[in-house]
Amino acid sequence: MTHQEFEKRMKKARDAFNRSAPVSGLRGYVDAVRKDIKVIKERDPAARSGAEVLLSYSGLHAMMAYRLSHTLFERGHCLSARLISQGARFATGIEIHPGATIGSGLFIDHGSGVVIGETAEIGDNCTIYQGVTLGGTGKHTGKRHPTLGNNVMVGAGAKVLGPFRVGNNTKIAAGAVVLSEIPDNSTAVGVPAKVVKIGNQRVEDLDQVNISDPVMQEFARLQEQITALEEKLREIENR
Ligand SMILES: CC(C)(COP(=O)(O)OP(=O)(O)OC[C@H]1O[C@@H](n2cnc3c(N)ncnc32)[C@H](O)[C@@H]1OP(=O)(O)O)[C@@H](O)C(=O)NCCC(=O)NCCS
């Protein structure tokens, strides 16, 4: 993928999501922070007041810095954007590349050790726990980080690596390593991650390689019947 194609794709993704737009002015920034505080209070039973969230939630602080750095990045001030993002990493342990595309309502709980790569895209109302990486495998250029749909939960320590999509309303288990696309409404666990539930239904282990072939089974049944008929015919002839 050329650089131009990559930029075009990123712009299209941003337009389609209508999210992660650079905040406009102080008022826009304050509104965005207010919304982030509300989201944390709604989603974390331990959060007692807005003041507590504002003063003590490192996930919120990282998002506050990201909004600033992303706005600068979008306006071409890449170095200052990176400096802010690195400052935030130093203060919170959460590294969000200023180029990442993040929807509304992201809650980074506990936070420490979270890494969100440049071409990662995150939908609305997602939750990410400490130690999560939305990163690349090192094999791709251009878009190389994952896209999370809406209402995705990524458990503590999970690594989601590569330029694929994690579907809406999906849960990635703590400690999972996700290396390929995950469908909507599912739960993925393990290393490498496997989908164990879709829409609250358990997915039984399927042997995708040694799967039985129904056509061959039918041929085998017909062959048995022919053999039996041949034997009967021989018996009748021999009488
Ligand atoms: C995956 C998770 C979201 C549960 O999702 P769920 O859809 O309710 O799934 P279930 O609990 O029904 O588990 C489905 C299967 O996955 C297994 N499983 C669940 N979490 C797992 C994990 N982290 N690693 C490996 N397997 C896991 C369960 O044992 C179960 O297996 P079984 O069907 O053989 O019994 C939850 O277990 C989890 O990992 N949450 C992360 C929370 C977190 O990071 N908290 C940090 C707070 S500080």
Distance, CA 184 to ligand 1 centroid (Å)? 17
Residues at CB less than 6 angstroms from ligand 1: 110, 129, 155-156, 171, 173-175, 187, 189-190, 196-197, 202
Residue nearest to atom 41 of ligand 1 (CA): 155
Enumerate domains of the chain plus CATH numbers: 104-211 (2.160.10.10)
Distance CA 93, CA 213 (A): 52
Q: Give, in order, the Cα–Cα distances in Å from 18 to each of 15, 25, 92, 109, 131.
A: 5, 18, 27, 24, 28
| Closest atom, ligand 1, to C-alpha of 200 | 7
Distance, CA 19 to ligand 1 centroid (Å)? 30
Distance, CA 43 to ligand 1 centroid (Å)? 19
- Give the pairing of strands 165-166 and 171-172: unpaired
Neighbours of 237 (CB within 10 A): 7
Q: Is the pLDDT of residue 185 over 90?
A: yes
Tell me the pLDDT tens digit for each residue of 191-228.
Answer: 999 999 998 888 875 444 555 566 776 777 888 888 88
Tell me the pLDDT tens digit for each residue of 8-48.
Answer: 665 655 554 444 555 667 888 899 999 999 999 999 999 99
